[in-house]
A and B are shown apart, each in its own frame.
Chain A
Amino acid sequence: MGFDVNFILGCSAIGAGLAVIAGIGPGVGQGIAAGHAAAAVGRNPGAKSDVTSTMLLGQAVAETTGLYGLLIAIILLFVRPLVGAAQ
């Protein structure tokens, strides 16, 4: 539709950069989870293995939203749907 390929690729790169900002949220969330897990182990060192496995499970689930952002970035950079759509 009259757009230069380079222009679309540049916009895709900016979009990919914006998409991985999604990583901020899970980073904060995982940090909070790890902090609380450390506090829990400090209060009750006997439950260390249970606390650790629960923390890892919760962190992995919280990580999903960040990974969706990463997927969008990878799709924008390497699958390049917008270039095909514009031509």
Chain B
Amino acid sequence: MGEGILLSESGGVDFMIHGVCSYELFGQTVWITTTHVCVLIVFLIIIGFCIAANRAVKHATEVPGAFQNVVELIVEMLDKMVSGVMGPQAVRFRNYIGTIFIFILFSNISGLLGLRPPTADYGVTLALGVITFTLIHFNKFKYKKVSGVLKGLCEPWPIWAPINIISDLAVPISLSLRLFANVLSGTAIMALIYALLSKVAIIWPAALHVYFDLFSGAIQTYVFCMLTMTYVTDACDTGE
């Protein structure tokens, strides 16, 4: 009662995650949600593209065809982006950065296909943030050794150690929240427009789709990959 004043109850405004089916696992009820379905669809699209790209590269011709050209362009662009930031470390990380770049990009622009973008679920972006966190600290311990990490924590004075630890822990949270909130805000605004202005929402929402799905999605993908690369390069820097 009385909850009709909220948009989620009144119109058909709906950008939440829904459960599709549930099953019991070790006594817990686990839900398969729309996010899983959307991630699956995005994966299928990427896998299809990869298989096509693999075939195109295997039968590569001296004068590249249209599709081979596109594949080479993508790989060159990603390689240039990674080596521009990471320098000598680029060889080890360009596979990973390329993978998350393509995954996040396809996830963000999947709103164009009418899906709910998987990156608008905090579970997806937090996982990406935790992978970055793991990479940062693995490389920190690998390159700076335990003594170097401890020294870094006590910069500039040992009394600052708790603050340094908090700022380390804030990295994955801010990374994942930035991506999540950007994509979620685009999804929410598009849902509001389609639900509340459904009578006049003809053709012109396409311009908003270009901004919220394509432009904002591409920028956030770029930012996530850039920040991941910057943090990992910082962690690999031994100060020599």
Contacts and interface: CB of A to CB of B under 8 A. Distances in A.
B7 interface: yes
A9 B5 contact: yes
Interface string A25-67: 0000000000000000000000000000100110011011001
A9 B3 contact: yes
Contact of B226 (A6, A57, A68): A57
A71 interface: yes
A80 B7 CA distance: 12
Interface stretch (B55-63, B97-105, B175-183): B175-183
Given A56-B222, A56-B223, A68 B177 contact: yes
Q: Is the interface of B mostly helix, strand, loop or mixed?
A: helix
Contacts of A60: 178, 219-220, 223
Given A6-B2, A78-B8, A78-B16, A71 B223 contact: no
Contacts of A63: 178, 182
Contacts of B8: 77-78
Interface size class of A (residues with CB under 8 A): 20 to 34
B222 A67 contact: no
B185 interface: yes
Contacts of B220: 60
Interface of B: 1-3, 5-8, 16, 174, 177-178, 181-182, 184-185, 188, 219-220, 222-223, 226-227
12 contacts: A9-B2, A56-B219, A57-B222, A57-B227, A61-B227, A64-B174, A64-B177, A67-B177, A68-B181, A77-B7, A77-B8, A78-B6
